[in-house]
Amino acid sequence: MGKDEKKIVFKTVHDLPPMAMSLGTMWVNKTASWRNLKPIIDYEKCIDCMICWKYCPEPAIFLRDPDERVAVDYDYCKGCLICVEECPVDAIYTEEEGK
């Protein structure tokens, strides 16, 4: 299921699990609006080590179709730039948002 199709499917309180467990709210709430710097992957330099995928705290790095290379999900990337810091070959550069 793609993220745009995810919705909370409950009707009443009785359908809910006791705690907020997989309510689908993570998909609904796009949390990237406060990003200042946008990480951009330079595929020429990227060696597909997946370290950025492992370190992203969101996690906003996924394997894209069809070549299964890392890509940033800009709906959820908060711009913490941990990926930039951790990339061993400096394959991720940044651009200011709104430019």
Partner 1 sequence: MKRMAIVGNHALSYGALLSRVQVIAAYPITPQTQVVELLSEMCADGTLKAEFVKVESEHSAMAAVMGASASGARAFTATSSQGLALMHEVLHWVTGARLPVVMGNINRAFGPPWSIWTEQTDSLSQRDTGWMQIYAQDNQEVLDSVILAYKVSEQLLLPTMVVLDAFFLSHTSEPVEIPDQEKVDEFLPPYENKYILNPDAPHAFGGLTNPEWYMELRYKIHKAHEEALDLIEKEGREFEKMFGRYYGLVDPYKVDDAETVLVAVSTAASTARHAVDLLREKGKKVGLLRIRVFRPFPYAKIKEILSNARKVIVLDRNLSPGAGGIIASEVRGALANLRNHPPVLSYIMGLGGRDITTKHIMELFEEAEKMEEGKDIIWKGVKL
Residue numbers of the site for partner 1 (CB under 8 A)? 8, 10, 12-13, 16-23, 25-26, 28-29, 31
Rounded Cα–Cα distance for residues 46 and 65 (Å): 16
Q: Which does 38 bind (CB under 5 to 8 A by kind): ligand SF4, partner 1, none?
A: none
Binding mask 26-65 toward ligand SF4 (x if CB under 6 A, else -) reads -------------x-x----xxxxxxx---x-x-xx----
CA angle 37-69-29, nearest 5°? 50
Q: Which does 28 bind (CB under 5 to 8 A by kind): ligand SF4, partner 1, none?
A: partner 1
Three-state DSSP class for residue 22 = coil
